[in-house]
Each structure stands twice: as structure tokens, then as C-alpha cells.
Amino acid sequence: MNHSPSARAFAYLLLAPAVLYVLFIVAYPLVDTVILSFTDAALKPETNWVGWKNYQKIFKANFDDVILRTFIWTFCSVALKMTIGVLGAVLLNAAVPGQTLFRILIMPPWIIPMAIGIFMWGWMYNGQFGMISGLLQNFGLSDGPIAFLGYGKTAFWATIVTDVWIGVPFVTLYMLATIQTIPKDLYEAAWTDGAGRFYRFRRITLPMIVPSLLTMSMLSLIFTFNSFDIIWILTRGGPSGQTTTMIIDTYKSGIGSYKYGEGSARAVMICLFLSVFCLAYYRLISRLNPVEAR
């Protein structure tokens, strides 16, 4: 019943609204970005074709610095999320009393409105009265107040920590779900043979979660690369541009200064990197789980 031409027509009919909607709101703007990037579009009424000028202009400025910073920021954040996520999943998988409660308690950073969590971090990073600086001083680890968002280096790490905070629950729960799919008999067999807990982790758990870990890392890389709210709320790319990633940079020139053409050129660069990541991701999932890539 589901292979005839009329079935096909029915399927297309069912799909049409969602596909058209996404084409209109995502695909059309994507094409528009590429077109705009070759123009001098701005607030003024007329728009002229300027060829590669926008691209030449952004690369003459410090765009390579921004790219490098974005990659370091993204890499550090993803590495931390994965490390904490795997450790967290192993801990939450341990059969100890309170397990269910602990699994619920790690969820809030992920579920609450992102911006509100970021406000709370804004206070935590406050030098005079915030928790981190306060506790460091109380424990004698710091001589005076540290305004984490006031200096380039600390602000860079502060935004990473907040990004990790938002990402960790999802990575942890995902890795936990993966660990739970590992057949129990593997562990029991190893256990009967006298394998210790750490040995079982290294020789069973780790190899079994590698595919999921790789998939999640790629996915996380893509999302982290797109991260906007955290940096915008905490530092707006400052101090002196030290937390300006590609997305923040695009927003500042395109929306902040109404340079649509130049901003679009920057957005196109982001899309180029994203498509490389996406291709890598698709190759990865089709190689790791051929069934899913049907």
C-alpha cells in the first residue's frame, strides 16, 4: 500500500508544509547570505554589486585572529565537555543509592532558559562580590578580587566554563544512555575472570563507547562553534575583542553596525567551516553505524 504512485503523492503532500517552511526560513536566507556577501548592502536604500571586496576587506583586518580564537575556544570547550561528560556518565552509571536523584540533579543547566543561567554566571564571575573570586580569597588562593570578565585571558576561560556548564548535562546523559546499551554479560564474564573495575572500564566501557563519543564530539563541535548567547551576554565579545568569536564578530558587523554585506561575508565563512564539519559528521555516522544512515 505504501509504494504506489498515489502513496508517493500522499507522502509528498504530508511533507510539503514542513519542507516549504524550512526552505523559506532557513534555505532562502542561506542563499541570501551568499548573495549579500558580494554586495555593499547596508541601511542605505541602494545596493551595489562589489565582487570579492568584502572578503578582501575582512581578511585585511584581523579576521584570521578571530578564526584562530574561535577554534581554540571551541576546541577547549568541546574537550572539557567530553571529558566531564564521560566521567559523569560513568559515575552516574555506578549502582549506588541516590542514583536516580543525581541523574535529575544534573539536568537544570540544560533545561532552564539559557540566558538566565548565563545571568547567574555573570554574578559568579563578579570580582568584588561573586562566588568564585570570593571563595578563592576565603581559601587564601588569591590575594585580591579577580574580575574574571574584566581581563581578556580570564574572560576567555570564563565564557568557556559557562559553555561547558550548559553542555555537560546533555553529553553526560547521552553517554550514560550509551553505556547502558553495553551488554551486561560482557562485564559479568570479565568479572568472573577476575578483572578489576578499572580494567573493565578500560577494556570494555571505553572501546564500546568510542563510536558514540566520536559522534557526540562532532555534534558538540558544531553546536559549540555556533555558540552565541553566552559570550554576548557575558562580555559582548570584549574586553578589547578577546572573546570575539566568528559568530559574535558577524553579529557585531552585520546587526550591530548594519553592515549587511560585510557581515554576510563573515557569515559565509562560518557556513564554509560548518559544512566541512557537517560533511565530517555525516561520514563519521555512516561509517560508524551503517544502519542509521539509511
Partner 1 sequence: MKQPRPMIDRYRWYELLGIYAGIFCLLFFCLAPFIEGFNVSLKPLSLLFSSPYRFWPENPSFEAYRTMWVSVPAFGRYVVNSLFVAGVVTALVIVLVVPAAYALSRFRFPGQSAILGGFLTVNMVSGAVLLIPLFRLMRSLGLLNTYFAMIVPGAAFLIPTAIWLLRAYMLRIPRELEEAAWADGASRFYIFRRVILPLATPGIIVTAIATFLGAYAQQFVYAVTFNSKTEYMPLPVGLFAFFGRQEVSWNELMAASFVGIAPALIVILILQRYLVAGLTAGAVKE
Residue 226 backbone dihedrals phi, psi, to 5 degrees:
-90, 0
Query: Does residue 84 touch partner 1 according to CB under 8 A?
Result: yes
Are the beta carbons of 214 and 287 closer than 8 angstroms?
A: no
Q: Which residue has the cell 576587506?
A: 57
Tell the smallest beta-carbon distance from residue 154 to partner 1 (Å): 17
Tell the smallest beta-carbon distance from residue 152 to partner 1 (Å): 21
Tell the smallest beta-carbon distance from residue 128 to partner 1 (Å): 7
Looking at beta carbons only, is 125 or 156 nearer to partner 1? 125
Residue 10 backbone dihedrals phi, psi, to 5 degrees:
-65, -40
How many CB atoms sit inside 10 A of residue 231's CB?
Answer: 26
- Alpha carbon 151 to its chain's center: 24
Tell the smallest beta-carbon distance from residue 8 to partner 1 (Å): 5
Looking at beta carbons only, is 7 or 68 nearer to partner 1? 7
Which of 79, 186, 214, 222: binder of partner 1 (CB under 8 A)? 222
The stretch near partner 1 (CB under 8 A) out of 11-19, 49-57, 67-75, 152-160 is 11-19
How far apart, in whole angstroms, are the C-alpha atoms of residue 127 and residue 151? 11
The stretch near partner 1 (CB under 8 A) out of 69-77, 99-107, 149-157, 202-210 is 99-107
> 172-210 in b/e burial notation, b at 16+ Cβ within 10 A?
bbbbbebbeeeeeeebeebeeeebeeeebeeebbeebbe
How far apart, in whole angstroms, are the C-alpha atoms of residue 60 and residue 3? 56
Query: Does residue 55 touch partner 1 according to CB under 8 A?
Result: no
Query: Does residue 129 touch partner 1 according to CB under 8 A?
Result: yes
Q: Which residue has the cell 563510536?
A: 211
How far apart, in whole angstroms, are the C-alpha atoms of residue 77 and residue 100? 27
- Alpha carbon 175 to its chain's center: 16
Query: Does residue 22 touch partner 1 according to CB under 8 A?
Result: yes
Query: Does residue 131 touch partner 1 according to CB under 8 A?
Result: yes
Start-to-end CA span in the chain (Å): 21
Secondary structure of residue 3 in the 3-state scheme = coil
Cell numbers placing 245? 568569536
Which of 77, 212, 243, 244: binder of partner 1 (CB under 8 A)? 212
Looking at beta carbons only, is 205 or 212 nearer to partner 1? 212
Which of 59, 63, 79, 137: binder of partner 1 (CB under 8 A)? 137
Tell the smallest beta-carbon distance from residue 68 to partner 1 (Å): 19
Helices (H), 94-200: 99-105, 108-111, 114-124, 131-138, 152-181, 184-192, 197-200
- The size of the interface with partner 1 (CB under 8 A), counted in residues, is 109
Query: Does residue 193 touch partner 1 according to CB under 8 A?
Result: no
Residues 256-285 touching partner 1, rule: CB under 8 A, are 260, 263-264, 267, 270-271, 274, 277-278, 281-282
Query: Does residue 167 touch partner 1 according to CB under 8 A?
Result: no
Tell the smallest beta-carbon distance from residue 221 to partner 1 (Å): 10
Tell the smallest beta-carbon distance from residue 118 to partner 1 (Å): 9
Tell the smallest beta-carbon distance from residue 170 to partner 1 (Å): 8
